[in-house]
Structure 1
Amino acid sequence: MIIDTLENASKYFSINPFFKEAFEFIMGHSNLEKAEDGTVGTFENLKAFVATFQGVSKETGLSKFECHDKNIDIQYCISGKETFGWKPRQKCVIPNGDYNPEKDVRFFSDAPDLFFELAKGQFVIFFPEDVHAPMIGEGEIKKLVIKIRYKHK
């Protein structure tokens, strides 16, 4: 997991061949606050969508304690403040249902090791080994999520 601000995004370009394209997409869309919910870009190995929602309680958010096998998530806070729960996948031992290959998601019932908050202009990168509980917070939260096809080295 990586947490940072857009100003530092270029530091991460070398980690994955698609990070540069993903962050250039974010930086090239200065009007994200006005973007409507839904898919805003699809490329060969990237899919970007905007989501606006009302923050939920920690208990509700933890019901979606999730990770992905085939995608890396870059989640960028457009407005509001979003709290996430996090735990390394290797420490999660209580599955919550089966893996859904169509949605590339699996859930766990474990408790997070920590919680952190993103504010406007900040992003988090979740790799397949990062189990995360999104959407926790109060009030309206708007974010951009970019799904990047995960490629093993």
Structure 2
Amino acid sequence: MIIDSLDNAHLYHGLGPRFVKAFEYLQQTDFSTLEKGKYEIEGNTIFAIVNEYQTVDPAGEQMEAHKKYIDVQYVAKGEEQIGHDFLNGQTPSRAYDGDADYMLFGERPAFFSRLAQHQFAIFFPSDLHMPNLTAGVQQPVKKVVIKISVA
């Protein structure tokens, strides 16, 4: 996992051309005008999901992991906390759903990080994550999740 500011996106271009495209999309798009929904960047290989929500208490949440896609989670507006950990053989509380590309885990996160506006987190298939959490007080967040295919 990687957590940083969009100002430092150039440092991660070495992860490959798909990351370059994802970061260019984040840097060049005015998210204040985009509605919630899915936006293709490069077919099913790279796409964005724009969402708006109120942050939630971590008590009722579970960590998730993916197999087919890497998440680049970018906070366009607001601030949230994200719980995270390493996937090290834990047993899923909800089995992997290949169509939705996720599985859930009941363990509590080992780490919590705060994502402020214009910051991002990258979660690889080896990372567990619990996004959308309240950072201090509940607040509205607009987040863009770029999905990058691992294949």
Shorter-normalised TM-score: what interval? over 0.9
Give, in whole Å, the separation in 2 of the partners of 1:58 and 1:32: 26
Structure 2 partner of 1:13: 13
Contact in 2 for aligned 1:4/1:122 (Cα 8 Å):
yes
Q: Give me the TM-score of the superposition, normalised by structure 1.
A: 0.91
Deviation at 1:97, TM superposition (A): 1.7
- Larger strand percent: 2
**Mapped pair 1:99 → 2:96:** yes
Amino acid in structure 2 at the alignment position of 1:66: E
Deviation at 1:57, TM superposition (A): 0.3
Q: CA RMSD in A?
A: 1.2
Structure 2 partner of 1:87: 85
Amino acid in structure 2 at the alignment position of 1:135: N
Structure 1 partner of 2:24: 24
- The DSSP-based 3-state class of the residue aligned with 2:15 is coil
Deviation at 1:16, TM superposition (A): 2.9
Give the ranges of 4+ consecutive aligned residues of structure 1 lying more than 2 Å apart after TM superposition.
none
Percent identity between the two aligned chains: 35
Q: Deviations over 1:21-76 (max 9, x none)?
A: 000011111x212311001334131011210001100112x33x100011000000
Residues 48-87 of structure 1: pairs in structure 2 closer than 5 A = 48-60=48-60, 62-63=61-62, 65-87=63-85
Contact in 2 for aligned 1:94/1:110 (Cα 8 Å):
no
- The DSSP-based 3-state class of the residue aligned with 2:32 is helix
Give, in whole Å, the separation in 2 of the partners of 1:72 and 1:119: 20
Structure 2 partner of 1:38: 37
- The DSSP-based 3-state class of the residue aligned with 2:94 is coil
The gaps in structure 1 that reach 5 residues or longer are none
Structure 1 partner of 2:144: 144
The gaps in structure 2 that reach 5 residues or longer are none
Q: Quick one: structure 1 residues 42 and 21, their matched pair in 2 at CA, closer, same or farther if it must change by over 3 Å?
A: closer
Amino acid in structure 2 at the alignment position of 1:110: E
